Amino acid sequence: MPDLAVGGGHDILVAAVDWGGTWIRVAAVSGGRIVRKDRRAKPPSLSEQYGTVAEMVLRTTAHLARPPAAVGVGLAGVVQEGIVGTAVNLGFTDGTDVAAALRPHLPLPTYLLNDAQATALGVAARWPHGTTAVLTMGTGIGGAVIRDGSLDTGLGGAGDFGHMVIDVDGPRCPCGGTGCVEALVSGRGLAETANTLAEDGLSPLLAARAYSGRVLHAGDLQDAAENGDGRAAGVLDRSAVALSAGLRTIVATHDPQRIVLAGATLAPDTYFGRAVRTHWDRTRPRWARTELHHVGDDEDAALLGAASHARDRFTAARSGS
């Protein structure tokens, strides 16, 4: 497996936080490598989360040769210029300066980014040169654009590929738009479809799994398609068409050297992964030289990306650039 070390020549010690809807994960990172890490369940209240993040950072970096210079926080929400616009799963519902809120608990320079951007930075370290677009597929669709190792963020939200509009008459999206990629294909949507096919008795395999008490997800839909279930295959094929249209938009707007598809659902040995690549080969622009790559789930990628972001921002602030 390729080395995921980020910026291997830099030995500034930084703390990294992956602040998700279920878990809070923290690491101490030096020279682009994780030297210590911890994980805890996310407490329910926002005030408790602030305290937990700060306590975990201090505990994880205690007794090391030196204190951390800065903290990078990858957060599951909309982040623009350090302000969290919304992160419903964490309890943020309006513009919040999270770094300022953490400061009484954690008096260190703190730099925020979206969790998908953090993951993308960690993933893209395998390709340090040129332009890399990373599309992440988990519960939703996210991503980022990285140019020569640095995020291209715009005002903060650039690379939010789940909200590219590919069907103006499509279904309503929680973002307020219609026909977004995420409204047409996502891990959440595929899981919902799997459960619907099971409940309606339209897929014997899925119905049997649901009857046994199993909570169905996108992987079950893929299993059904692999076993000859025409309805499951049809859903995945239509979703692959939608995602391929999104890939065309990425190429048209960024013309990257590569698009990296991140997540187990998009693996090339799955039904959906093969379908995406088949439709991409059929519909890609004739002039496009963009390559498709895949990386599997890697929980450390978000921590390494958040650390890289904090290190770069801290270094730039210190140099006055």
Q: How far apart are CA 234 and CA 224, in angstroms?
A: 11
Measured in residues, the chain has a length of: 321
- Span 250-266, mean pLDDT? 94
Extract the tokens encoding 40.
């805890």
Structure confidence by residue, pLDDT tens digits, 197-245: 999 999 999 999 999 988 899 999 999 999 999 999 999 999 999 999 9
- How many CA atoms does the CB half-sphere of 244 hold within 13 Å? 20
In tens, the pLDDT along 20-70 reads 888 999 999 998 899 999 999 999 988 899 999 999 999 999 999 899 999
| pTM of the complete model | 0.85
Give the span between the Cα atoms of 180 and 284, in whole angstroms.
19
pLDDT in tens, 93-117: 788 888 999 999 999 999 999 888 9
> With 50 as the cut, is the pLDDT of residue 4 above it?
no
Question: How far, rounded to the nearest angstrom, does the alpha carbon of residue 42 sit from its chain's CA centroid?
Answer: 18
pLDDT for position 10: 56
Domains, in order of start, for the chain? 14-123+299-319 (3.30.420.40), 127-295 (3.30.420.40)
Cite the DSSP H helix spans in the chain.
46-61, 98-102, 115-124, 181-184, 187-199, 204-211, 218-226, 230-254, 271-283, 299-319
**DSSP helix/strand/coil, 143:** strand
Asked if the model's pLDDT at residue 143 lies above 80, the reply is yes
Lookup: tokens for 205? 């395999």
In what helix (H) or strand (E) does residue 38 lie, and over which residues does it extend?
strand 33-41
When pLDDT is averaged across residues 276-282 and rounded to a whole number, the result is 95
What b/e sequence results for 112-133 when a residue is b if at least 16 CB atoms lie within 10 Å of its CB, and e otherwise? bbbbbbbbbbbbbbbbeeebbb
